[in-house]
Chains A and B, each alone.
Chain A
Amino acid sequence: MKVLVTGATGYIGHSLAMTLAKNGNLVHILVRNPNSTLIPQHPLIKVFTGDITKKETIIPAIENCDTVFHAAALVRSCTRRPTDFFDINVEGTRNMLDAALRAGLKKFVFTSTAGVIGPSLNKEMSEDDPRITGFDTDYELSKFLAEKLVKEYAHLGLHTVIAVATKVFGPGINTHPLICINSVIRRFISGRISFCPRPAHYVSNYVFIDDLVQGHLLAAANGRMGEKYILGGENISYVDFFEKLRFVSGMKGIVLPIPKWIAAIRGGLHFILHKLTGKDPFYNSKAVSLIYCNKSFTSDKAKNELGYSITPFTTALKQTIRSLIIESYAKQSIYPDYGVQ
């Protein structure tokens, strides 16, 4: 099979492209910078230089492919130009859909986020549940609009499937600019103080990267046209998350609970810094509200229709910690002064 993967220099896209290549598929990847160190290296991976926001650069990469995995997106808490999210995540997706429809592709798998469904109440949320809050961030709104486009193209005859990721963790390249679970784990095992929202009973859904990648392949194989599938993991509260982290890593680790208002002030300060220096903020006050809520999801639809399965959280955590330790050793040996990040 010949496939195109966008966003292959990103966390999810990188793993996806490598897995596809290891499975014996010929993988085209579309990257902006062909000299990037983040490009997945494999004999079956062919690099095309291009940009999803430039229509004409997509065409050579998409030619003769059967399936597209569109995993490219702008994932940030904010950018200097507010239109960036919409240019890349909405118009970029439209360009990809257009090119795929014209090239007569068999399948189009779109990687989206559970943030589009939003926070949950007492119980788990499923694909068809209505959103209970307004859209907090441009990122979520842009992904919502992109999902709408993807569904519309299903009615034009393109076999589109939406694969929804929850909070992703696991071995992989380190590119995620937002607070990601890997960086939380990395911080914990490095022995520094970890921060945790207070009250810590908020439940989130954590998906292991390998499950998510398998889910993508299953979505391409078995996903129904125009449908959306949550590819999640276990629903775990913040307390249990750190409890399990302690158990698996065998480290005590200090976890400091932070009330929402302190996090909001810190977010505000980060935002001011961002305005002054132009550097991307680690998070802002809007991103704070994304953490202080329940985000529990059910993957039952994917399990029933795609044959999706979930790796137990502790097993996945074990693998993640192992890879993060190897990564930190590698860094220490290459840059002796750099230390553990």
Chain B
Amino acid sequence: MQNKVFTLITGSSEGLGKAFAIECAKRGMNLILVALPGPELLALATLIKTNYSVEVVCIARDLCKDESCTELLAEVTALNLQVNMLINNAGIGGTVLFEQGSPLLYERQIRLNVLATTLITRLFLPLLQQHGCSYILNVGSLASFFCLPKKHVYGATKSFVYFFSKSLREELRNSSVQVSVLCPGAINTNPALTLMNKTGNYISRLSVMNPEEVAQVALNGMFRGKEVIIPGRLNNYFMLLDKLLPTFFKKILTRSTMKKLDNNNRLSRYLLPAMATVPIPTSR
């Protein structure tokens, strides 16, 4: 097992992380999948192992908890696994009015999106540096460029990821470690978010991407050594517009879009039952 190299993906049981895992397996990369404890992680690992001849190691861990990042490193070193690629994907999203969001949500968001990303990068950097060529891919968001209502804490944590990744890239310029940051727009990561993405206006609905497309673009970009990866043609136009348009105009646009979002919630009554995350006990 010593001479095999692995790709570590955090938050890999659902959404983009799952798409990353499948896309990496397609490319013949061995995987260390880190996700919350639950049947989803094992089901994914089984699916990948039956379809591709790659090694899959599952580590069930809640990265919001103290010490979980150090424990993760300890477990990986105990298994004597070589890591040459790190995808910091785990994150908590959320679109909620600031006063309506629970303090616990914000705490978990900051812990996972900011702290876990930083700590895991720091802890695994020595392992990554042992290889002639290794990669770190941090998952940011398009929300780190736009100031959006209801995306306050989320946008700020993703801005952290963006800034952190770009700085680290500069620092590691002459080393073997390549750092990239992925800034995707809206993704159909899970059924509830897929429904929510449908409530937007026409243009924003067009910009929604599927996780498997994003994962493919992200990995291509990472291997080509791109600094900032923005998947989707429309999202790139948004960025271009952002650079060209004056600030006051952008503010007007954002406000009208958010207003429309509120009025356009025709599908919202299906959101509540879909969002209910009460796990259904399986009779298996």
Write the residues of chain A forming the contact surface with B, with a CB cutoff of 8 angstroms.
Answer: 82-83, 86, 90, 121-123, 128-130, 132-136, 138, 141, 144-145, 148-149, 151-152, 154-155, 224-227
Contacts and interface: CB of A to CB of B under 8 A. Distances in A.
Contact of B191 (A121, A128, A135): A135
Contacts of B43: 128-130
Contacts of B47: 121, 129-130, 132
A134 B44 contact: no
Contacts of B118: none
Given A130-B18, A152-B280, A226-B283, A135 B188 contact: yes
A144 B270 contact: no
A134 B270 contact: no
B250 interface: no
Contacts of A141: 191, 194-195
A133 B69 CA distance: 29
B188 A134 contact: yes
Interface size class of B (residues with CB under 8 A): 20 to 34
A134 B22 contact: no
Q: Which 4 A-B pairs have the closest CB atoms?
A: A134-B188, A134-B210, A121-B51, A122-B51
A86 B267 contact: yes
Contacts of B72: none
Given A132-B212, A133-B211, A134-B188, A121 B280 contact: no
A128 B188 CA distance: 21
A133 B51 contact: no
Interface string B207-224: 000111000000000000
A123 B51 contact: yes
B38 to A, nearest CB: 11
Contacts of B26: 121
Given A123-B50, A135-B194, A148-B280, 8 more contacts: A82-B266, A129-B43, A130-B40, A132-B19, A132-B22, A135-B188, A141-B191, A155-B280
A121 B52 contact: yes
Given A135-B194, A136-B210, A145-B270, A121 B22 contact: yes
B204 interface: no
Contacts of A155: 280-281
B132 interface: no
Contacts of B51: 121-123
Contacts of B44: 130
Contact of A145 (B18, B188, B191, B281): B191
